[in-house]
Structure 1
Amino acid sequence: MGVKLRRKMRKKFQYRANSKKKLNEIKRMFNPVIECMPVRKAWNNKKSTPSNMADMGLVFDLDRDVPVQKKNEHTAVKSPKNKRKEKPTEVVQKLEEDVKKRSGKPVEVRLTNAQVEYATTMLDKYGFDYKAMARDPRNYFQDTWKQIRVKIRLFTSNPRYFVPYARERGMLKPENLETQDKEEKIDC
C-alpha cells in the first residue's frame, strides 16, 4: 500500500519550480566556473572533481591527505601513508609562478575619505594617545582603543595618505622632501 502512494506522489508536477533554473544549477554544480586559467585548461568535464584535482597534482580533501597533528606529547605523530615524491605537474608549476609574481607586489589598502578625515582629526587632537581617542565624542562607532590603533596604523603606514598629512603639518624633514619630489618626477 505504501509503494502505490509513493508512486502517486512522484507523478505530481511542480508548477512553481523553474525547471530551467534547476537544470542550470545542476550544470553549474557538475561543471563549475573556474577562474584560475591553468586549472581551467587542465580541467576535464568527463571526470569527477577529485580525480581532476589528483591528475593536476592538487589536493581535493585536505583532511584525508594531511593528518592533523595532535599537541599531546606522549603520542607520536603519524606521517601520511602515501609519501611518494612526485614531480610537480604543469598546473602546479604555473600556480607557483603566479604566486611568485604576486608576492613581489605590495597590497595597497585604500581608505575612504571619512576614514582619512577621522584619522587626521584624531591624530591632530590626541597624537598617538589611543585611549583618549576611544573616549572622544567623535568616536561614533564606539571603537575600542585597539581598533582605533589599527585604523591609525593603516593610515600612517600608507604613504599615499600619510605623506600629504605630514607635509601639511611640517613633520617631514626638508631632506626627505627633496628626495621624494625627485622620485615623484621619475614616476611620471
Structure 2
Amino acid sequence: MIETVIKFYARTWKSGLYGGREHYQSRKPLILSVFGFGDVEHVWGFLTAPGAAVCEVPKAKGKTRRQKFGYNVNRKRLNRNARRKAAPRIECSHIRHAWDHTKSVRQNMAEMGLAMDPNKEVPLRKRKVKGMEVDVEEKPKDLVRKPYVVNDLEAEARLPEKKGNTLSHDLIEYVHYMVENHGEDYKAMTRDEKNYYQDTPKQIRNKINVYKRFYPIEWQSFVDSLQNKKMEVD
C-alpha cells in the first residue's frame, strides 16, 4: 500500500498534475496516515529528495491484454457443432448414421420405418358393438425413405450370439498338461509341480469342466489325440 501511494504521488509531482504542491495539501490526512509523518512538508521533502526511490508494483498478468473479436470464426458452424456435442449419442450405429439432425425425432423414426410409440403404430382390431362390427379408421402410414435401416437391424438380429467370455492361454495349457499326464486322477494333479496355485482336487476338476464347457470341440479333439497316442504306444 505504501509503495503504491509513493509511486502515485511521485508521478503527480513530476508531471505537474492536480495542481502540484497544492494537491498534496488537500490530501494531507491521507499522506499523514499512510507515511506516518507529522507534517506534509516532510512528505514533500521525502518525495522530492535527490535519489528518492520509487518502487514499481508489478502488474497482474493477463490484465493488459485486450480481448479481440474473432471475425474469421464461422459462428454458425461453431454453434452447430456445439449443439451436436451436447445432444445425446445414439448407441445404434445404423440409426446414428441415418439420422438427420435437421428433422425431429418422430420424422427420423418414420423415415427409417421404426415406431416411436408402438401403441399408436399397431393397428387396432375391429370392435363389436351389440353384435355389429365397427370399422376403425386406420391412419395413413408415413413414407419410409430409409428402409435399409430396418433391413440392417434385422440382419444383425439374425446373427448368432458371440461368446464374450474366453479362457486364458495359461489355463488351457494347464488343463492340457494335467489331463495328458494324470488323466482323471485329481489327487495326483494336486501333487504335481505344475500346480503353482496349490489347487485342491475339486478346484482342478472345476477348471477342467470350465474348459469342456467353453471349448467342447477343442476338448473332443484333444481327447481323441490322447487316445491315438495310447494306441500307437501299445
TM-score range, shorter chain: 0.3 to 0.5
TM-score by length of 2: 0.34
